[in-house]
Structure 1
Amino acid sequence: MAIYELRTYSVVVGKMGEVTELYKSLGWPALAKHPQKLVGYFTGDIGAINEIIHLWKFDDDADRRSFWNGVFGDDQFMAFAKQLRPLLKHQENKLMLAAPWGPHP
């Protein structure tokens, strides 16, 4: 059964432009080297300003753990994370299962 991981990063007010540039220049190039598990990245709008939200889809928990171990073992990604962390206020992760009805990504 697929597992979905919803990650929400709250960005320090006034730093979204800097965060966006970091993702474009360092973050995404590092992540793109790893197996494609990303459903999508989103930025907040009304009620969710200063947030970056991403949704990931994994085959199961072992797939999820293997993916993140690979990412966190990647020096290029960790160099990006080192620059990103001071620009974040808070991180929230949620693991979810697809409902037994309706469409699924």
Structure 2
Amino acid sequence: MPLYERRTYQVRVGQMPELTALYREKAWPVIQAAGLAKHCVGYFITDTGALHQLVHIWRFEDDAERRNFWEKLLGIDAFPLVEIRSLLVSQENQLMRGADWGPVV
């Protein structure tokens, strides 16, 4: 059964436009060029509840594939990791498996 990783970034207040531009113009093109976009379920920006959050969900066949993915992505010099981190207050990662009933993407 696939493994999903939910990453929630708490963005500094007022910095969401800068972060989304950074993803649009730099981070996402690097992810696509590296052939890693196939793992992305989606990116989401919170609108209610805890605000100023960027949530992204990734799908992997297992933990080894997940670890290889992050090692590869974070090893690419063009990926703007330092710029992204400078806009965050905190980060939370959660690993999830689909329940054995109902739909799973």
* TM score, norm. by length of structure 2: 0.93
- The AA in structure 1 aligned to 2:88 is L
> How far apart, CA to CA, are the structure 1 residues paired with 2:8 and 2:39?
16
> How far apart, CA to CA, are the structure 2 residues paired with 1:70 and 1:39?
18
**Equivalence map 1:29-44=2 (5 Å):** 29-32=29-32, 33-35=34-36, 36-44=38-46
* TM score, norm. by length of structure 1: 0.93
Identity rate, percent: 47
- The AA in structure 2 aligned to 1:64 is R
> How far apart, CA to CA, are the structure 1 residues paired with 2:87 and 2:67?
25
Gaps of 5+ in 2: none
**Equivalence map 1:64-103=2 (5 Å):** 64-77=66-79, 80-103=80-103
Equivalence for 2:26: 26
Deviation at 1:8, TM superposition (A): 0.2
**What is the number of residues matched between the two proteins?**
103
- The AA in structure 1 aligned to 2:72 is G
Gaps of 5+ in 1: none
Question: RMSD over aligned Cα, in angstroms?
Answer: 0.9
Q: Which runs of 4+ in 1 moved over 6 A?
A: none
